[in-house]
Amino acid sequence: MNRRYVKATLFLVLLFVLFLPLFYLFSFGKNDGLQQTLQDSGGPAPTSWWTAPFSYGANPVETFLVGLLGFVVVAGAILGILRILKRMGGKDGPKRGPVDPPRA
C-alpha cells in the first residue's frame, strides 16, 4: 500500500479521536431524534428488540471502536468499487461515454 494512503488513513483516525470528546459534549445524556420526538408528542417510549454489542454514546472505547469499524467498512467499500471500475475500464481507466469530451 502506498505510504500516502497509510498517512491519510492514520490522519483521519487521529482526527476522529480528537473530535470524539466534542461528540460527547452534545450527545451524553440526551435522547436521539426518535426518542425526543416521541417524548415531545407524548407518545410511548420506544422499546428495543435488539441491543447492539457496541453503540455510540455508551463510553469512549465503544464509540471509538464503532467509529473505527464504520470507517474501515466505508473505506473498504469505496476501494473495492474503485478497483472494480478500474478493471472494467482496462489500462486507461473507465471508458468514457458519448457525453464526455474526447481525451487530448
Q: Which three cell numbers stand for residue 50?
A: 435488539
- Sign of dihedral through CA atoms 51, 52, 56, 58? positive
Residue 93: per-residue pLDDT: 55
Q: What is the pLDDT of residues 1-38, one digit of tens each?
A: 688 888 888 888 888 878 877 777 666 666 667 777 87
Amino acid at 71: F
Residue 103: what pLDDT?
67
Report the candidate in 2, 3, 5 with the shortest Cα–Cα distance to residue 13.
5
Q: Is the separation of the CB atoms in 30 and 24 below 8 Å? A: no
Q: Among 44, 19, 60, which residue's Cα sits nearest to residue 11?
A: 19
pLDDT of residue 34: 72
Q: What is the pLDDT of residues 47-101, one digit of tens each?
A: 777 776 656 556 777 777 777 888 888 888 988 888 888 887 755 555 555 666 6
pTM for the complete prediction?
A: 0.46
